[in-house]
Amino acid sequence: MMTENIITISLELIGNILGLIVFPLIIIISARKIWNEKKESGAINIVRFILMCVFITFYILVILELLYENTPARPILEENSIWATSISDFSLRTLLIGILVSFAIGLVTYANQWETLFYSPIFFYGGMILLHFSTGFTFLFPIYIYISAVIGLVFLYYTGIRLRDNGSLGLGILFTLQFTTIILTNILINEIINITSFVFALILGLGYFNPFTDGD
């Protein structure tokens, strides 16, 4: 038992360090690629831009989790609705997870050229946020997150395979790894999956995830 605890703590430390190093690196590289492509073609690569936004959101979550799990700031984060362990409880963490699944839906609609639906996740989720701050109503948040997560994952894989789109497939794998840690209760396995997801995020962000060489 003690050995397992030591391994778990060590993996958690490795995961925290990886998260703090990997995501800023990915964000900087992604931003440079977007900027260079913008200068060459005059247009922004929307797929790469959405992926960068996903990485930024993940990084904020990594920082908040690090503060919550490893510093005395836990009571402050809980009292100010910054972090809640349950998605059913409204917090900044819940908002960020909702943003992640909205990005997933947005990427699916863009890759499939469903232009009329491209902004629908933004408007719908934005409306939910306004409803919460005006009425305190939070019931829709967990429903939206779970339903959008399932729909997003299914269509990310579908889009990635059907359109041979590296970005959609890569994001689907990354989201699968992260959502698995929410479902599972074994801390040791969760830490291993968490580290795996950070390594995969680095591979994806650097552009080395290319099962379809002609994809984005």
pLDDT in tens, 111-124: 888 888 888 888 99
Q: Is the model's pLDDT at 206 over the cut of 90?
A: no
Q: What is the mean pLDDT of the chain?
A: 87
pLDDT in tens, 121-144: 889 999 988 988 888 888 888 899
Q: Give the per-residue pLDDT at 138.
A: 81
Query: Closest Cα to residue 20, out of 72, 59, 64, 69?
Result: 59
Around Cβ 6, how many Cβ atoms within 10 Å? 10
Burial 29-41 (b: 16+ CB within 10 A, else e): bbeebbeeeeeee
**Percentage of the chain with pLDDT > 90?**
25
- Dmax (CA) for the chain in angstroms is 58
- pTM, to two decimals: 0.84
CB contact at 8 A, 171 and 144 = no
pLDDT in tens, 6-55: 887 788 888 888 888 888 998 998 899 899 989 988 888 888 898 899 99
